[in-house]
Amino acid sequence: MTYLCNQPDMFVEEMIQGFAAAHRDLIVAVNGGVVRCHQAEPGQVVVIIGGGSGHYPAFGGLVGPGLVHGAAMGNVFASPSAQQIYDVALAAYAGGGIILCYANYAGDVLNFNQAQARLQAQGIDVRAVVVTDDIASAPLAERQLRRGIAGALPVFKVAAAAADSGESLDEVCRIANEANARVRTLGVAFSGCTLPGAKQPLFQVEHGKLAVGMGIHGEPGLYQQDALPADDLAEMLVKKLLQDISPAGDLPEGTRISVLLNSLGSVAQEELFVVYRKVDQLLHSRELIIVEPVVDRVITSFDMAGISLTLFWLNDELEIYWKAAADTPAFKRGAIPRFAPETDAVLIPQVAVAGQPVTVGSPASQRIAAIILEIFASAKQIIETQQEELGRLDAVAGDGDHGIGMLRGVSAALDAAKKAHDAQAGIETLLTLSGEAWAARAGGTSGALWGVMLSTLGNKLGDTTVPDTATVAASIAAALCEVMQCGKAQPGDKTLVDVLQPFSATFDQAVARGVSVVVAWQDAADIANTAAQQTRNLLPRIGRARPHAEKSIGTPDPGAISLAMIITAAGKVMSRHCA
C-alpha cells in the first residue's frame, strides 16, 4: 500500500514540489510539470513527454540533458490535461519545433492532441509520436492499438538524444518512430497496487499466482497462472517477446539488442538481477549482442509487485542515440558537464498563470447561471458520496481512479463557477470557465470530455437570453457531437456516449411535444439512468478497459454512471427553481 501522504487529492502537487526541490540542479517545476532548468539551444527541437503520476521515474525523472526536455505530470494514473501539456511545452520551447511523445492511452491521446492543436494554432511546428510497445494489449496485426509501457524509455531516449545533437524536427520524428517500431514489452504482476489514501489494491492476484499482461495503471492482467521460478519466468518473457518480433521466435545471429528489465514497484533490485542473469544467458545463447542494458525501475505502478521485460533491437543510428550520455534525476549514462552557477546559460523562468477576463452576462442569463452554480454544488455532493463506488466500478477492468478524477473535476468546476458568478457571468462564460477548470484539474479522458461538454453547452446557450427547450436540446446535441468527435466513441462502445446519446434523443423528442425544459430534462434523465445501467451488458471497444473486455461484462461503465448521476442531480435543482 501507499503509506505516506497527507490529503490524497493533494498528493501529486506535493510530490512535484518535493521532487523539484530535490533536483534543483537539473529540473524546475513549471505549470503542469517539470522542464530542464536550463533552456535548450535557440532553434533546437525539444521533446516533451507526459503521463499520469505514480510511475516514477516516468515521467518527471527522465527530464534532463541527454534525455527529454520536459514532462507534463498528470494526477495519479490519469493523463495530464491539455493545459498542463501546453504549458510545459511552451516553457521548454526553443524555436525549433516540438515533439510530443507519449504512451497510447485514450486520455493521453485526447489531451496531447488538444495541446498539439493549440500549439500549432500559435504557429509552432509540433509532431506527435505515440508509443505502442505492450504486446499483451493487442495482437501484432493491430499494433496501433497497443498500450505504451516501459518500452517508452528507448523511444524517449533516442528522440531526445537526436534533438540534442541538432537533428531537424523531421529527423527527430522519424528516429522516434523507428525506435517505437523496434521495441516490445511484456509485464507480469504478483500483486496489485494501491492508490494514495485507498484501503484496497486495484486488483488482487491469488497467492502463488502471477498475472500476465497487466497494465501500469493497475489494469488487471489478461490471465493468471501459477507463479514461476525466476529462470522459468525469464524464459517465458523472452520467448513471447521474440515470437512477437519474429514468427520464428528468433532474430538473426549478431543482432544488436538492448534489454530493459523493469521493476513495477516493490520487486527489489536484487530480484531483478536474478531474473536478468537468465535473460542474459538466453539472449547470448541465440548469438544476440546486448548493448547497454538497463536493470532498474523504469516505469512503475506505485507498490505493484511485478516486472516487465523490454527488448529493443537496434540499427547503427539508434545505437548511437541509445548509448549517448544522459543526466537526469533517475537515468544517468556517461558524463555530461553540469552547468556551473556562474555560466550564462538561460534559466527557465517560472510563469504565472493569468486569470481570464469574465464577460458580464445579461440579468436574465445571470439568473440561470446562478442555478447552474447550484447544479455544480449538487453534482459535487453526489460524486463525493459515490466516489468509492465509482472507483470500484472502474477497477473491474480499468485503473480505479474514476471517482477520484470526477471529484477533482467537479470540485474545480464548482470553484470556477463561484468565481464566475461573483463576477456576474452569464451562462456561456460560467460554463466555459467551469469546463476549462474541470479538464485542467481532472485530466484523463473523462476530464477532457467533461471540459468539451461544458464548453460546448456554454457556447450554444450564450450569455444574454434564457434558453428555451429547443435551444437546450440543440446544445445537448452539439455536446454529443463534440464528445464523439474528440473521444472517438460511438454508441455501444461502453462509454458515457451510451448515456449522452439517448439523453439527447429524448430531449429532441420533448421539443416536438412542446413541454418545458424541466419536464424534458426529467424525462431524459430517466432514460439516461436506464441507459447507464444497461452498459453492464456491453463490451468496451475503446479505452483502457478494451484489453479486459470480458471482465467488464456485468458491470456498468463508470463514466456512464457518473454522467447519469449528475444529470439526475441537475434535474432536481432545476425542478426546485423552474417549476
- Residue 189 in contact with residue 70, Cβ under 8 Å? no
In angstroms, the first-to-last Cα distance of the chain is 50
Distance from C-alpha of 391 to C-alpha of 445, rounded to nearest angstrom: 15
Residue 144 CA to residue 133 CA, distance in Å, equals 9
Please state, in angstroms and rounded to a whole number, the distance separating the CA atoms of residues 550 and 397.
Answer: 9
CA count, 13 A, side-chain hemisphere, 307: 28
Cis-peptide, bond into residue 59, ω within 30° of zero: yes
Of residues 154 and 350, more confidence is placed in 154
The answer to whether 329 and 57 have CB atoms below 8 angstroms apart is yes
d(Cα 156, Cα 68) in Å, to the nearest integer? 7
Quickly state the pLDDT bin for 344 (edges 50, 70, 90).
Answer: very low
Options 1.20.120.80, 2.170.140.10, 1.25.40.340, 3.50.40.10; CATH for 363-578 is 1.25.40.340
Written in H, E and C, the secondary structure of 148-205 is: CCCCHHHHHHHHHHHHHCCCCHHHHHHHHHHHHHCEEEEEEECCCCCCCCCCCCCCCC
Confidence grade of residue 7 (pLDDT, cut at 50, 70, 90): confident
| Chain centroid, CA 31 distance in Å | 17
Which residue in the list 217, 402, 421, 548 is annotated as catalytic? 217
**Inter-residue contact 146 to 137 (CB < 8 Å):** yes
Q: Tell me the domain boundaries of the chain.
A: 8-324, 363-578
Residue type, 577: H
Please give the grid coordinates belonging to residue 94.
526553443
Strand duo 306-313 + 183-189: pairing: antiparallel
pLDDT above 80 (res 341): no
Give the CA distances from residue 289 to residues 252, 313, 325, in Å, rounded to whole numbers and listed in that order: 11, 10, 20
pLDDT band at 188 (very low <50, low <70, confident <90, very high): very high
Percent pLDDT > 90 in the chain is 77
Global pTM reads: 0.87
Q: Which of 14-23, 479-488, 551-560 bottoms out in mean pLDDT, i.e. has the lowest?
A: 551-560
Is 217 one of the annotated active-site residues of the chain?
Answer: yes
What pLDDT score was predicted for residue 346? 53
**Rounded to 10 degrees, what is the CA torsion of 447, 452, 453, 459?**
140
Average pLDDT, the chain: 91
Q: For the residues of 251-314, what is the DSSP string, one character each?
A: --TT-EEEEEEEE-BSS-HHHHHHHHHHHHHHHHHTT-EE-S-EEE-SS--TTB-EEEEEEEE-
For 436-479, write each residue's pLDDT tens digit.
999 988 888 899 999 999 999 999 999 999 999 999 999 999 99
- Say yes or no: do domains 8-324 and 363-578 share a fold: no
- Residue 132, φ and ψ in degrees, nearest 5: -140, 65
Position 357 scores a pLDDT of: 74
- What are the DSSP calls for 487-546, one per residue? H---TTSSSTHHHHHHHHHHHHHHHHHT--HHHHHHHHHHHHHHHHHHGGGPPP-SSTTG
- Which of 161, 543, 514, 113 has the alpha carbon at shortest distance from 317? 161
- Spatial separation of the C-alpha atoms in residues 146 and 167, rounded to whole Å: 28
Within 10 A of 170 (CB to CB), how many other CB atoms are there?
Answer: 12
Of 419, 423, 424, 422, nearest to 436 by C-alpha is 419
Q: How far is CA 476 from CA 147, 458, 497, 567, in A?
A: 32, 10, 12, 12
Give pLDDT, residue 17. 93
* Count of other CB atoms within 10 angstroms of residue 59: 28
pLDDT of residue 125: 97
Is the pLDDT assigned to residue 402 strictly greater than 50? yes
pLDDT of residue 396: 79
pLDDT digits (tens, 9 = 90+) for 352-362: 445 567 889 99
Strands 33-36 and 70-76 turn out to be antiparallel
- CB-based contact 33:68 (threshold 8 Å): no
The angle subtended at Cα 148 by Cα 144 and Cα 154, nearest 5°, is 110
Q: Is the pLDDT of residue 342 over 50?
A: no
β pairing state of 256-263 and 294-296: parallel
CA distance 489 to 541: 8
Q: Which amino acid is at 146?
A: R
pLDDT of 391 reads 86
For the stretch 488-530, pLDDT in tens is 889 999 999 999 999 999 999 998 899 999 999 999 999 999 9
pLDDT band at 192; cut points 50, 70, 90: confident
Contacting residues for 401 by C-beta, under 8 A, at least 6 apart:
75, 76, 77, 78, 195, 217, 391, 394, 444
Strand partners, 98: 46, 126
The C-alpha cell at 55 is 510511475
The pLDDT of residue 343 is: 46
Q: Which helix (H) or strand (E) holds 437?
A: helix 427-442
Residues near 59 by Cβ (< 8 Å), separated by ≥ 6?
A: 33, 49, 50, 51, 71, 72, 73
- Find out whether 441 and 81 touch, Cβ atoms under 8 Å: yes
- φ and ψ at 102, to 5 degrees? -155, 165
Structure letter (DSSP) for residue 38: B
Asked if residues 377 and 55 have their Cβ atoms less than 8 Å apart, the reply is no
Chain segment 347-388, per-residue pLDDT in tens: 555 544 455 678 899 999 999 999 999 999 999 999 999 998
For residue 339, give the C-alpha cell. 552547468
Q: Under CATH, what is the fold of the domain 8-324?
A: Rossmann fold (3.40.50)
* Kind plus residue range of the DSSP H or E element containing 72: strand 70-76
Mean local confidence (pLDDT), 209-235: 89
